[in-house]
Amino acid sequence: MKTASAVMYNSESANTIDTWLAVRDKLKSKYGEAIFKSWLGKLDFISLTNGELILSAPTRFIKEWIYNYYSHIIQNLWYEYDKSIRHLDIIVDNGSSKKSIISPSVTAHKSMLDSSDNTIPTEEMVFSSLDKRFTFENFVVGSPNELAYAAARATAESSKVQSESNPLFLYGGVGLGKTHLMHAIAWHIHETTPWRKVVYMSAEKFMYQFVQALRNKDIMSFKEKFRSVDVLMIDDVQFICGKDSTQEEFFHTFNALVDNNRQIVISCDRSPSDLEGIEERIRSRLGWGLVIDVHSTTYELRLGILESKVEQLDCHVPKIVLEFLASKITSNVRELEGALNKVVAHSTFVKKEINLENTQEILRDLLRANERVITIEEIQKRIAERYSLRVADMSSSKKLRIVARPRQIAMYLSKMLTPRSLSEIGRKFGGKDHTTVLHAIRKIEELCSSDNEFNEEIQMLIRMFQH
């Protein structure tokens, strides 16, 4: 089998990559963004040799699903462009394969790679990627984030690296201020000790740059430039999970910097111990320094943030409206800010004072989403969508695995996410007995404990409903 790197470099394969990109586009428009993102978009191109097309999927679960459901469609689409195709095989590649130096997923980002530059950011580029508003001054401190704030400040203020707080590892859910704090560190260092070289980048960007350096056979200068920084900040490090060679390079860079007593700051959507798809030695190394959890916001913090935003926007919003927003929009700060901006923009536009009534009107959809109660019907609908079934299949008694398994998953989620009893759930799934529901729940629990990938899938579904 050819490796992905070999395929990328020979000239005839440029066509193959284009075919792959075209097929992907077709799949996306055929099935829509959601299904594409959950399933088909996770496929990577591996090789095409003598009519045998090999794609990879990140987990066995996804592989099987696509294989059973979409393989003939992929083959047909491919055939439209390239009549040589005879057979499609899908392998599982969770990033641990050493076959190729370039992670196959790179091929999917070809256009992005082509347009990105090959240099490590110069100082200017570093600062152009920082948001001017994300400073310590604009960060509102409350009990959920005070530790993170204090640690970020201490890191920004001390030019001496303390080994016990290296790396500084900030983690927490989306929209809680991790990126804001990282930018704030960069701005502060830039203002107070401008000679120190700070590099801030997302883990994704790290990956693209690394891959491009590989492509241009310029890995030495990539390493050199990285290793001369004083403070390296990598945002959303979870993105390198499962990206084998990027992980490895990140780890080398990381170690070289730490050995030279340079500061590392990392953000992530979960704690080091919850990171999966990452080598054990890297995972444990990430947790050696100061690991801080940015907690979900409280009502007080949300109100504080709104008040500070109103001041920045220099507009008038009645206190009762702020209190209303702080109590209703609880998901994260990004949404909260979005809601406030929307109300302010609307009132400016229609030249009307903001009050509770028009706020409720303007934010009707958003408020509904934040109030959302999960129903069995909703679970059935979304699970059916996700596994390309009809909603009616959820109430059927088809025993075929591709129908029965999602139905069991939906039953399990109904028990997990709604207050309904086993009998009530059974009724909603086509009048089944409560023992059938119980059996489904046991089955899913069993699969979760014996099959890591399956478990991941279930956890992901739970998160999907809770957001």
The site for ligand ADP (CB under 6 A) is made up of 134, 138-140, 145, 174-180, 305, 333-334, 337
Q: Which listed option, ligand ADP, Mg ion, none, makes contact with residue 89 (CB within 5 to 8 Å by class)?
A: none
Q: Which of 197, 281, 292, 290 is nearest to 247 (CA)?
A: 281
Residue with Cβ nearer ligand ADP (138 or 370) = 138
Quote the least distance from Cβ 333 to Mg ion, whole Å. Answer: 11
Segment contacting Mg ion by CB under 5 A, of 105-113, 114-122, 178-186, 284-292: 178-186
Q: Which listed option, ligand ADP, Mg ion, none, makes contact with residue 305 (CB within 5 to 8 Å by class)?
A: ligand ADP
How are beta strands 168-171 and 44-49 bridged, if at all?
unpaired
Residue with Cβ nearer Mg ion (205 or 420) = 205
Quote the least distance from Cβ 170 to ligand ADP, whole Å. Answer: 8
Q: Which listed option, Mg ion, ligand ADP, none, makes contact with residue 406 (CB within 5 to 8 Å by class)?
A: none
Classify 431 in phi/psi space as left (phi over 0), alpha (psi -120 to 50) or beta. left
SS (H, E, C) 298-328: CHHHHHHHHHHHHHHHCCCCCHHHHHHHHHH
Quote the least distance from Cβ 198 to Mg ion, whole Å. Answer: 17
Q: Which of 286, 290, 310 is nearest to 140 (CA)?
A: 310
Q: Which listed option, ligand ADP, Mg ion, none, makes contact with residue 337 (CB within 5 to 8 Å by class)?
A: ligand ADP
Q: Which listed option, Mg ion, ligand ADP, none, makes contact with residue 382 (CB within 5 to 8 Å by class)?
A: none
Quote the least distance from Cβ 269 to ligand ADP, whole Å. Answer: 8
Q: Terminus-to-terminus CA distance in the chain, angstroms? A: 42
Residue 13 in contact with Mg ion, rule: CB under 5 A: no
Residue with Cβ nearer ligand ADP (241 or 394) = 241
Q: Which listed option, ligand ADP, Mg ion, none, makes contact with residue 39 (CB within 5 to 8 Å by class)?
A: none
Residue 246 in contact with Mg ion, rule: CB under 5 A: no
Give strand ranges (E) for 131-197: 168-171
Residue 179 in contact with Mg ion, rule: CB under 5 A: yes
Helix (H) or strand (E) holding 33: helix 12-38
Quote the least distance from Cβ 203 to Mg ion, whole Å. Answer: 11
Residue 145 in contact with Mg ion, rule: CB under 5 A: no
Quote the least distance from Cβ 234 to Mg ion, whole Å. Answer: 11
Contacts of 403 (CB under 8 A, 6+ apart): 389, 393, 396
Burial of 206 (0-12, 13-18, 19+ CB in 10 A): buried
Q: Which two tokens stand for residue 358?
A: 């028009």
Q: Which listed option, ligand ADP, Mg ion, none, makes contact with residue 322 (CB within 5 to 8 Å by class)?
A: none
Residue 332 in contact with Mg ion, rule: CB under 5 A: no
The SS3 of residue 229 is coil
Cβ 257 vs Cβ 228: under 8 Å: no
Quote the least distance from Cβ 134 to ligand ADP, whole Å. Answer: 6
Quote the least distance from Cβ 176 to ligand ADP, whole Å. Answer: 4
Residue with Cβ nearer Mg ion (134 or 250) = 134
- Sign of the four-CA dihedral 221, 224, 229, 231: positive
Residue with Cβ nearer Mg ion (20 or 239) = 239
Quote the least distance from Cβ 434 to ligand ADP, whole Å. Answer: 41
Q: For ligand ADP, which residue has the nearest CB?
A: 177
Q: Which listed option, ligand ADP, Mg ion, none, makes contact with residue 199 (CB within 5 to 8 Å by class)?
A: none
Q: Which two tokens stand for residue 111?
A: 């256009």
Q: Which two tokens stand for residue 389?
A: 């079934």
Token look-up 């704690």 returns 271
Give strand ranges (E) for 87-150: 87-92
Q: Which two tokens stand for residue 70?
A: 């979409």
The SS3 of residue 122 is coil
Cβ 201 vs Cβ 121: under 8 Å: yes
Q: Which listed option, Mg ion, ligand ADP, none, makes contact with residue 145 (CB within 5 to 8 Å by class)?
A: ligand ADP
Q: Which of 265, 287, 131 is nearest to 198 (CA)?
A: 265
User: Site residues (CB under 5 A) for Mg ion?
Assistant: 179
